[in-house]
Amino acid sequence: MKMHGLGNDFVVVDERGITPRVDAAVAIAMADRHRGVGFDQLAVLSDTPDADVHLTFWNSDGSISATCGNATRCIARHLMDAEDRDALTITTNRGVLIAKDAGNGLTSVNMGHPQLNWDEVPLAYEMDTLALPISGTPTATGMGNPHCTFFVDDADAVDLAARGSEIEHHPLYPQRTNVQFASLVGPDHLRMRVWERGVGITLASGSSSCATAIAAARRGLTDRDVTIDLDGGTLQISWRDDGVWMTGPTAHVFDGVWRL
């Protein structure tokens, strides 16, 4: 299936009950937007005894990502519709996630608790994750994958291609990092643009939105319920006692057959 959440697009392969076929080479070939299908991430469904389904995420460069919030929402919506359910559990390398029907065509996923210590993000050595020793004093957050969030006056004025690539490979992040630039546009309302590790510029990112909301709340810029406007649309993020909930729309674009 080809799906997207706010233009953050995915290929979804269902390997439940069959021999796994997706590997890094297949992911790279399928990611090619001219000779393949094209995606920001590829998600593979597989069986697990611990939840309704397990998800594995591949980036377009063939690397693995522990989590992908928008893809998780898209797949949750597909499975809930197919099975006539309003909730289900999903395992990823991040752990067990809960997805729910939020009504009005929206889907919510609990992305788990944020990782706020330097060794959880992870960073290269011990430091305060609230204000990193990088120009612009960004905030580091782990959401199962590492994030680096800059708060700026105008997110749209940032040269995202140049800055995102530079920060992704910053030596403070041994596993590379997702990069966000966010600006405050109103009470509990942010404008955010994102550079995804292993992908590049994307129209939206669920885990990046969660990380940005966490960073904004920690810095006192917002409360814990935040509206985030991305290039592809809007997500609602709520940092609660049981984790970080992300709510937004999903879209199923088409089904196809990939011939190896």
Residue (of 192, 206, 180) closest to 74 by Cα position: 206
Helix or strand holding residue 77 (H, E): helix 69-83
| The amino acid at 253 | V
In a domain, 123, yes or no: no
In a domain, 43, yes or no: yes
Residue (of 14, 34, 76) closest to 51 by Cα position: 76
Specify the CATH number for the domain of residue 16: 3.10.310.10
Arithmetic mean of pLDDT, 49-72:
93
Angle at 203 between CA 199 and CA 206, to 5 degrees: 80
My answer on whether 12 and 107 are in the same domain is yes
Print the domain residue range for 92. Answer: 2-111+248-254
Arithmetic mean of pLDDT, 49-54:
96
DSSP secondary structure string for all residues of 48-76:
-TTSSEEEEEEETTS-EES--HHHHHHHH
My answer on whether 106 and 147 are in the same domain is no
My answer on whether 12 and 103 are in the same domain is yes
My answer on whether 16 and 91 are in the same domain is yes
In a domain, 51, yes or no: yes
Helix or strand holding residue 214 (H, E): helix 206-218
Residue 63 CB-density burial (10 A; 0-12 exposed, 13-18 middle, 19+ buried): middle
* Residue 38: per-residue pLDDT: 95
* Residue 259: per-residue pLDDT: 85
Arithmetic mean of pLDDT, 179-202:
96
Give percent of the chain above pLDDT 90.
Answer: 95
In a domain, 219, yes or no: yes
Looking at the 3D structure of the chain, how many domains does it have? 2
In a domain, 260, yes or no: no
**Average of per-residue pLDDT values in the chain:** 96
My answer on whether 77 and 161 are in the same domain is no
In a domain, 179, yes or no: yes
My answer on whether 23 and 102 are in the same domain is yes
pLDDT at 215 over 80: yes
In a domain, 133, yes or no: no
Confidence of residue 33 (pLDDT cuts 50, 70, 90): very high
My answer on whether 18 and 107 are in the same domain is yes
* Residue 66: per-residue pLDDT: 86
My answer on whether 183 and 103 are in the same domain is no
Arithmetic mean of pLDDT, 88-95:
92
In a domain, 130, yes or no: no
My answer on whether 37 and 90 are in the same domain is yes
Q: What is the pTM of this model?
A: 0.93
Q: CA end-to-end span of the chain, whole Å?
A: 16
Q: What are 84's strand-pairing partners?
A: none
